[in-house]
Amino acid sequence: MSDQELKATLDAYRAAAHAEADAHFDERALETQRHKILARLAHLGQTAKVIRFPIVPHGDVPITGVNRRWISVAAAAGLIIGLLGGQLVHLVPQPTRRLAPMTSTIAPSAERPDFVPALVSFPQDDGLLDEVDFAVQVRSASELRALDELTPFNEPR
Amino acid sequence: MAGQTNLDVVVPAPRPATSAHPSPASVLAAEIKGLVGRGERDAARERFDGLVLLLQRRALRVAFQYLRDAADADEAVQDAFVKVFMHIEQYRSELPFDVWFTRILVNASLDRLKARARQQRWISHSTDEENGWPVEQIAGNEVSHERRLLAKERWSEVTEAVASLPDRQRLVFTLCHLDERTPAEISAATGMRPATVRVHLFRALRKLRGVLGGKAGTDTR
C-alpha cells in the first residue's frame, strides 16, 4: 500500500469516524450538553449548603451551659443532703418503727437484738425444717438409690 | 520505499503562524479571560456559551473516537469545558486556545478511561460479537449508512487496529488523523516532545499499514 493509498484510506476513515460520532450527538444532544455545562458553571462559586440538625422535639428543654451548671449543683446538693440524712437516721431516736409489730410477735434471739431476718432462729420453724430434711433424706435413700449408683463421682467414695 | 511511511505525506500540513491570525476560539477565550479577571463572571459565562458552541462538535468527535463510548465522551467534554472555565485565567492569550483546550480534553478523556477501568473490575459488559465494541455503542441505521464510506470489513479492520494501538500511539493517531492536528500541536497538547510524537505516529501508521495491506503489524510498543 502506497502512502497515497494509505492517506486516502485514512481520509475515508476520518470521514466515517466523524459521521459515526455525529450520529451519536445530534443537535438536540449538543444543546442538552451546553445546558449541562452552563448549569455546572453556575454552581461553581457556590459553597455547599449546610443543613440544620433536626430540631429538638417539643417538650424537651435544650441543655445550655447555664442549665448544665444547675444540673451539676443540684446533683451535688442531693448527694450532700443524702449523706446528712443518712447520718441523722442513726443519731435521732425513732419512737415508732415500721417492723416493730412483727418483732413483738416473734421473740428475738439474745445474741442479735437488731432485725436481721436471715439469721433469726425460730424454735417452731427449726423443728419443722428438721422434719422436712429428714423426710427428704429418707426418701432419697430408698427411692433414688439406683440413680445415685449410676451417678459418676469425681473422687472414689 | 515499500513498507515505510512518509509522515509528510500522511500527516496534516503545518498551519500558518497562529499568533498573527488567532482563531475565533482564541479571541473568544481571551475575551472571557478578561471578563473573569474583572470579576464579571455572569458576562463571562454568557460568552463561554459561544465558546462551547464553537468547539463542542470537534471535542465530542475526538472524545468519542478515543473513548468509544457516547456517555463517557459526553462526560469528558463537559468536564473539559468546566475545567477550561475554572482555569481560564491561566490561559496565555498569545498561544492558540485550541491546543490548550485539546490538552485539557485529552486529560479529561484519560480520567474517564481510568474511571472506566475501575468500573470494569466490577462490571462485565456484554459485547457485540461482530466487532467487539460494547452493544450500546452501536447505533442503528444512521451509522451503517455512514460506514458505507468504508467497506464494512475495512471499517472493522481499521477500528480494531486503532483500538489495539498502545495508548500513546492511539492518542497521537486520534489527534493527528481525526482532529487533524499537526505533530507540533500534538506535542503542545500532550506534553510529549515533537520527536516522540513523530515516533508514535510512525509506529501507529506502520501497524495500520500492515493491517490494511494484509500483513499484520506486530509492533505494540
Q: How confident is the model at residue B137 (pLDDT cuts 50, 70, 90)?
A: very low
With CB atoms and an 8 Å threshold, state whether A4 touches B9: yes
In a domain, A9, yes or no: yes
Compute the CA torsion angle B6, B8, B11, B17 (nearest 10 deg): 160
With CB atoms and an 8 Å threshold, state whether A7 touches B48: no
User: Which of B6, B78, B146 lies at the smallest CB-CB distance from A36?
Assistant: B78
Quickly tell me which residue has 462490571 as its cell: B123
Q: Which of B99, B59, B53, B51 lies closest to B79, judged by CA?
A: B59
- Give the least confident one: A57-61, A72-76, B45-49: A57-61
Q: In 10 A of CB B164, how many CB atoms?
A: 14
Q: Which DSSP state fits A117?
A: G
Q: Do residues B113 and B67 lie in contact, with contact meaning Cβ atoms separated by under 8 Å?
A: yes
More confident residue, B193 or A101: B193
In a domain, A37, yes or no: yes
Average pLDDT of the residues in A80-94: 82
Compute the CA torsion angle A112, A117, A118, A121 (nearest 10 deg): 60
Rg (CA), chain A: 47
The angle subtended at Cα A28 by Cα A22 and Cα A32, nearest 5°, is 110
Domain span at residue A28 reads 3-42
- Give the least confident one: B10-14, B42-46, B158-162: B10-14
Using a CB-CB cut-off of 8 Å, the residues of chain B touching A15 are: 149
Amino acid B116: pLDDT: 83
Average pLDDT of the residues in A130-135: 74
Amino acid B150: pLDDT: 60
Average pLDDT of the residues in B167-193: 87
pLDDT at B4 over 50: yes
* Sequence-distant (≥ 6) Cβ neighbours of residue B161 within 8 angstroms: B207, B208, B211, B212, B217
User: Which of B81, B149, B209 lies at the smallest CB-CB distance from A1?
Assistant: B209
Q: How confident is the model at residue A122 (pLDDT cuts 50, 70, 90)?
A: low
In a domain, A66, yes or no: no
Q: Strand (E) positions, A29-145?
A: none
Cα B9 from Cα B4, distance rounded (Å): 12
Report how many domains make up chain A. 1
A20 at the B interface (CB within 8 A)? yes
DSSP, collapsed to helix, strand or coil, labels residue B212 as helix
Percentage of chain A beyond pLDDT 70 is: 58
With CB atoms and an 8 Å threshold, state whether A12 touches B212: no
Please report the DSSP string for B82-122 in residue order.
HHHHHTGGG--TTS-HHHHHHHHHHHHHHHHHHHHHHHHTT
> Residues of CATH 1.10.10.10 domain(s) within chain B?
144-213
Using a CB-CB cut-off of 8 Å, the residues of chain A touching B70 are: 24-25
Average pLDDT of the residues in A98-116: 49
Amino acid B9: pLDDT: 60
Average pLDDT of the residues in B139-147: 50
Please report the DSSP string for B16-70 in residue order.
PPTTTS--HHHHHHHHHHHHHHTT-HHHHHHHHHHHHHHHHHHHHHHHHHHH--H
Please report the DSSP string for A39-53 in residue order.
HHHHTSSPPPPPPPP
Paired residues of B134 in beta bridges: B127
Cα A24 from Cα B172, distance rounded (Å): 23
In a domain, A12, yes or no: yes
Select the CATH number that applies to the domain covering B21-120 from these four: 3.30.420.140, 1.10.1740.10, 3.40.50.2020, 1.10.3720.10: 1.10.1740.10
The angle subtended at Cα B175 by Cα B180 and Cα B100, nearest 5°, is 95
pLDDT at B51 over 90: yes
Quickly tell me which residue has 477500528 as its cell: B159
What fold does the segment set B144-213 form as a domain? Arc Repressor Mutant, subunit A (1.10.10)
Average pLDDT of the residues in A97-105: 49
Cell of B143: 451509522
Paired residues of B127 in beta bridges: B134
DSSP, collapsed to helix, strand or coil, labels residue B193 as coil
> Residues of CATH 1.10.1740.10 domain(s) within chain B?
21-120
Cα B133 from Cα B69, distance rounded (Å): 9
Which residue type, as a one-letter code, is found at position B191? G
Average pLDDT of the residues in B27-50: 91
With CB atoms and an 8 Å threshold, state whether A24 touches B53: no
Cα B29 from Cα B47, distance rounded (Å): 9
Q: What is the mean pLDDT of chain B?
A: 78
In a domain, A10, yes or no: yes
Query: What is the distance of C-alpha B215 from the center of its chain?
Result: 27
Cα B173 from Cα B186, distance rounded (Å): 10
